[in-house]
Amino acid sequence: MMSDGARRAIKVGLIVAAAGALILAAFLAGFVTRSLLPTGPAAEQSAPTEKPPPSTLAPSPSVTEANETSGAPADPTSEPEGGPPAPAADVREKSSFDLYWEVWGLIEQNFYGELPTDEERTYGAIRGSLQALDDDYTSFIEPEAAEILRSDMSGSFEGIGAYVRLNRAGQVEIVHPLEGRPAEAAGLQSGDVVLAVNGRSLEGLGLYETISMIRGPEGTAVVLTIGRPGSPEPFDVEIIRQRIPFPTVEYEMLEGNIAYVRLYDFNEQADARLQDALKELLTQQPAGLILDLRDNPGGLLGQAVAVADEFLPAGVALYERRSSGTEKVFETTDEGLVQELPLVVLINVGSASGSEIVAGAIQDRGRGTLVGETSFGKGSVQAPHTLSDNSELRITIARWFTPNDRAIHGAGLEPDIEVSITEEDQAADVDPQLEQAIEYLLAGE
């Protein structure tokens, strides 16, 4: 049964979303255009490289561009004699907001039930307007959630220890719980959908708001309402939050003198930690290397390019194209640590954004072989804008393309060697994708 709090959240969400749709034209017309020329490395959500950065609850997937400069709008054209006509945007704004207040006047007079606060109404109107853009990654994030995300690249978090993403149905889905962490101990599984947090329905909320609700101080409890494929009814799970240092990189030597590195996300420490791992592995003179990007949701764009640079000689890493028609080329150098060692990259449906940048560049330039399953298909860039109340607006500003000019958004990368992992494999703790990668390298193909 759904709680009263969940019913109220749905009711409020529907009211404010409907009102928001009415003011879309005014919302868009009132936007101040900003120059979005990067001045430094792009940062994610983050998405293109949305798990959200991995966190104790990590959004999957995304890359966000940071360090954007804001500039003045273009100079206006010359005005005709007699003064300028009334701008069309002003007319639309007045008309739209007249209708908006007409609707709310009727609601305030007639609605049976508790009305949302002014803040809830404002935030809901914005969300309702953004839904009309039909873009899951252009999103409004309330101040508390935005503050969490602004500190989300440090490498440790307080939460439940699970990767999450927005699935194709727009639901918040568990990609996988981290081994030995609270989410796993509580029985959460890959494919579980989070329907409510502490009785509050997630209807109308975005990925980042959900993450901020699930995360919290170490030692406190959070109750998730879970929908599980094959389960007839949703059920509640109580989880005690922990502080979770995130394992950006794990590495070891495998059978046959094969080096193995798993990169969990592209946070601000990713390339530095990867370099440390590679340097240690190279002292053992491996015959080949496996780079595991499975379930890696992305992170900082600059870090994704830096990671690709470790494996590729000088050349194109990706193209970034904006709606204006401008294009930016990101390139690798000749300074990478592993440019010739035989290489296999593992990918799956949880490999997104930054992972697809790296894997796509390696595949297109013939540097290595992709093994696993088709990747997620997240190839858009979000620019974050901090608003006057410290909330955040993330706007999709560009798409990225591989060196061979392939668009990944909505399609994903197809592996060179397709290998699936079945439920029986998981139950038996068998990894046929990793086994295939080892076999491929040992065969010297």
DSSP H or E stretch at residue 222 = strand 221-227
Give the whole-angstrom CA distance, residue 202 versus residue 12: 12
For residue 99, give both structure tokens.
């209708």
Spatial contact of 46 and 265, defined as CB atoms under 8 Å apart: no
Give the whole-angstrom CA distance, residue 425 versus residue 430: 5
Give the whole-angstrom CA distance, residue 301 versus residue 48: 7
Give the whole-angstrom CA distance, residue 445 versus residue 430: 23
Nearest alpha carbon to residue 392 among 231, 216, 211: 211
DSSP H or E stretch at residue 125 = helix 118-131
Give the whole-angstrom CA distance, residue 382 versus residue 63: 7
Residues 6+ apart with CB under 8 A from 280: 251
Residues 6+ apart with CB under 8 A from 414: 370, 374
147-150 long-range Cβ contacts below 8 angstroms, 24+ apart: 147/390, 148/55, 148/211, 148/212, 148/215, 149/45, 149/46, 149/52, 149/53, 149/208, 149/211, 149/212, 149/392, 150/392
Give the whole-angstrom CA distance, residue 277 versus residue 249: 8
The alpha carbon dihedral of 143, 241, 217, 273 has a sign of: negative
Cis bond before residue 217 (omega within 30° of 0) = no
Give the whole-angstrom CA distance, residue 357 versus residue 302: 11
- Residue 376 backbone dihedrals phi, psi, to 5 degrees: -65, -45
CA distances from 425 to 53, 102, 428 (A): 28, 59, 5
Active site residues: 353, 364, 378
CA distances from 363 to 308, 356, 366, 417 (A): 11, 10, 5, 12
